[in-house]
Structure 1
């Protein structure tokens, strides 16, 4: 006879996570949405510039942007991403008592949806959403590569840092899901190379030629004209980022390095708390039937990680980068599970005391943060 749901610690932790998410959302809506709001009022009015795609789309719908639209739009994207991830998890692992620990260590991780809730309105989740779409979409034709290229282009137009943040993970998904099954021929290699060059060219254009071409006061006046409440000038305090060159971003990051580096032990601790997940991950890789597949997966994980290390040296939002790195690891696990395996992999043990304690701690951590831990 099965115990009642409230006597199952994993079901209780799932319910606690829902309560934590509600608390994080309530706390978030009480904070001024400085960076998320300004991204909704910047568009292509003065020509091609970086970080303007979302604002340009919003400008097609509303002339004056209210503050509540930040939370309405971001909340909708968050819910869509959560719904698609649940569908992906169900398709990859199924939902039962055996897979509940894995779901808790991924979807309920402070790295994942709880931190996306804390950074509501930021652009990170769009990369996650694009990767989930590619994990759910059929990968039987060259159209899959073209879809990945289109999504990558959209992400770079949203924010060019996606080139390091989620585009590498999208590339890994394309290789593992399409190229390993379809094989390599001149056509699909040519399409892949052209797509890669186009994405790289767009990044260079956004990074080096995407700065605002007009004086800052004129830019601010235009942003005020798009605000529902022009008196909220505090929401325009980050307008300088459309004028800031890469060299300035790097110098600011290294100036903050002595204080920001103090958060590394905290990040290491949070990663360590996910040890049961990493063990399952390693076992899944070892269970792959083809030795080539195992080597490619390890190389892919290393490459994605190196991209995040480069971001650490360029932009100082360390909590976001660590969190999104973990999300990329979680998503690539789904692609790995789609590869042929030589044996079944034992699930994360639900009756192990240490695993349960780790999961309980992970459950109670509300988010990782944006710059510094918590």
Structure 2
């Protein structure tokens, strides 16, 4: 047995990382055995019938190949997952480092069933693009107004990929810009105007996608076009979600409220999963309350978390994919934690304990839970 292998077995936190890798493989094997109903049809939709919501990725793919095999949904989703995971590892290394004392924090983030494991379960869905873009903004320098404009462009792309990103990841991107750029360089007439103009432009684009991005042709014609883009047109069952390009917002809200009594049964499970991350939340609190050197920064961080949370509460009232929303909300908090760590501090926040038995038990439970789900828990 080599020295590295011995270190894994002697350190339970390193062993948790190894187990997490095995769990991820299991989630992947299970995922590719399932029909990619939603991910595949999204890759077939483009701008053939004019401006269309949720069509940017499909439009880009159509530039390279007119026919799309089913496996492309897993291939593209897997590639985006690998890039996101790799960039997150790089972000964590840069923000915290991979010394022994930060291993528990890495386990609670990277091994969380809310994060990479759930993105594997939702492979092919567009949530991960918001996380990917936010990580990118945390990695690159924030030294000029170009940073604000880049964030605006990425936010616009997210809205074109899926308009629900306006509530899901655009608030987190805005918070990252405030924490990394505006708090570091202050506010001027120019950069405030650029920020406001960016928010307005992204908001207008969302309205256009939500209310003017529905299909103008009969659904049968739309589905026939999608079938023509399939490498195997016989798999018409994968086109069963074509109605979502015709469904008005009022119908989505009605469906959500009809399912609400049943979906609310999952709230205790979500609360339990969030509670399992108590060591991480404790570190977050210590970082904000005790380590930040500027009182105003504490208030701004708190306000950012409130705004991000309000966006997810609105989503809860509109669309019923509760497991996805809870998972992405937690991921947004992980990303904000990285942004907060980049702010000026007066001292180091004590890291998560490596030896506390309760913390270790939480780490093992978090490690062994393979995912949270899409609509209902698990």
TM-score bracket, normalised by the shorter chain, equals over 0.9
CA–CA distance in 2 between the matches of 1:4 and 1:205?
A: 55
Aligned twin of 1:370: 374
Q: How do 1:241-320 and structure 2 match up within 5 A?
A: 241-286=244-289, 287-320=291-324
CA–CA distance in 2 between the matches of 1:5 and 1:339?
A: 33
Q: How do 1:88-107 and structure 2 match up within 5 A?
A: 88-107=91-110
CA–CA distance in 2 between the matches of 1:210 and 1:318?
A: 24
Aligned twin of 2:9: 6
Say if 2:61 is the partner of 1:76: no
**Aligned residue among 61, 64, 68 for 1:65:** 68
Q: Show structure 1 runs of 4+ deviating over 4 A.
A: none
**Aligned residue among 178, 182, 185 for 1:182:** 185
Q: Tell me by how many angstroms 1:182 deviates.
A: 0.9
CA–CA distance in 2 between the matches of 1:124 and 1:200?
A: 19
Q: How do 1:293-372 and structure 2 match up within 5 A?
A: 293-372=297-376
Q: Which runs of 5+ in 2 are unaligned?
A: none
Q: Deviations over 1:9-57 (max 9, x none)?
A: 1111100000000000000000000000000000000100100000001
Q: Deviations over 1:312-333 (max 9, x none)?
A: 0000000000000000000000
Q: How do 1:151-230 and structure 2 match up within 5 A?
A: 151-230=154-233
TM-score of the two chains, using structure 2 as the length reference: 0.98
**Aligned residue among 123, 126, 139 for 2:126:** 123
Q: Tell me by how many angstroms 1:5 deviates.
A: 2.4
CA–CA distance in 2 between the matches of 1:104 and 1:28?
A: 23
CA–CA distance in 1 between the matches of 2:276 and 2:223?
A: 45
Q: Deviations over 1:257-297 (max 9, x none)?
A: 01000000000000000000000000000111000000000
Q: Which runs of 5+ in 1 are unaligned?
A: none
Q: Tell me by how many angstroms 1:4 deviates.
A: 3.5
Q: Tell me by how many angstroms 1:96 deviates.
A: 1.4
Q: Tell me by how many angstroms 1:342 deviates.
A: 1.2
CA–CA distance in 1 between the matches of 2:205 and 2:307?
A: 21
TM-score of the two chains, using structure 1 as the length reference: 0.99
Q: How large is the RMSD of aligned CA atoms in angstroms?
A: 1.0
CA–CA distance in 2 between the matches of 1:53 and 1:260?
A: 31
CA–CA distance in 2 between the matches of 1:215 and 1:364?
A: 47
Aligned residues: 374
Aligned twin of 2:111: 108
**Matched residue SS, 2:343:** coil
CA–CA distance in 2 between the matches of 1:181 and 1:240?
A: 46
**Aligned residue among 149, 154, 165 for 2:152:** 149
CA–CA distance in 2 between the matches of 1:4 and 1:127?
A: 35
Q: Tell me by how many angstroms 1:8 deviates.
A: 1.0
CA–CA distance in 2 between the matches of 1:89 and 1:353?
A: 25
